[in-house]
Amino acid sequence: MKKLVRFGVSLDHHLLAEFDDVVRRRKYPTRSEALRDLIRDQLVSQEWSGNPGREVVATITFVYDHHVRDLTRKLTHIQHEFQGHVMAGMHVHLDHDHCLEVLVVKGKVSEIKEVADALVSVKGVKHGKLTMTTTGRGLV
């Protein structure tokens, strides 16, 4: 069983009131659980910024106009170039003109950023976003 440590935190009462509003809105059972999530989020962020060679996972989400000439071929080609990093994908037809793709990628921080930049910068991609997370190793 994990050893829990209790500690005190001093906060301005206005800041605590705002934090309690977040706890209620997001339906956390306790302040402690909300605080644990904040700490984990910071640790994951540091995992990405602190070591470009560290293995991580992420999603790359992008929306594009599938009528743009040769765009689908270019996007597929990029995914094949980074074949060892693209683990899975989902393709959704949003309307007559637009598609959404979500890719699950895994690899070194620098490589994952390269994949995302390559996909999002293609002419015809209207919006794209890299959402970083962690493999979970070493995170409590």
Local confidence pLDDT in tens for the 140 residues of the chain:
678 889 898 999 999 999 999 999 999 999 999 999 999 888 888 877 777 788 889 999 999 999 999 999 999 999 999 989 999 999 999 999 999 999 999 999 889 999 999 999 999 999 999 998 887 776 66
Tokens of 113: 């950023």
For residue 91, the model assigns a pLDDT of 96
For residue 81, the model assigns a pLDDT of 93
For residue 1, the model assigns a pLDDT of 65
For residue 58, the model assigns a pLDDT of 94
Q: Tell me how far the alpha carbon of residue 104 is from its chain's centroid.
A: 10
Domain boundaries of the chain, sorted by first residue: 13-50, 55-133
Q: Give me the phi and psi of 93, to 5 degrees please.
A: -85, 110
Q: Give me the phi and psi of 18, to 5 degrees please.
A: -65, -40
Q: How many CA atoms lie within 13 A of 53 on its CB side?
A: 0
For residue 135, the model assigns a pLDDT of 79
Characterise 75 by phi-psi region: left (phi > 0), alpha (psi -120 to 50), beta (else).
alpha
Strands (E), 66-136: 86-93, 98-108, 125-133
Is the pTM higher than 0.85? no
Task: Give the fold, CATH level 3, of 55-133.
Answer: Alpha-Beta Plaits (3.30.70)
Tokens of 138: 């070493």
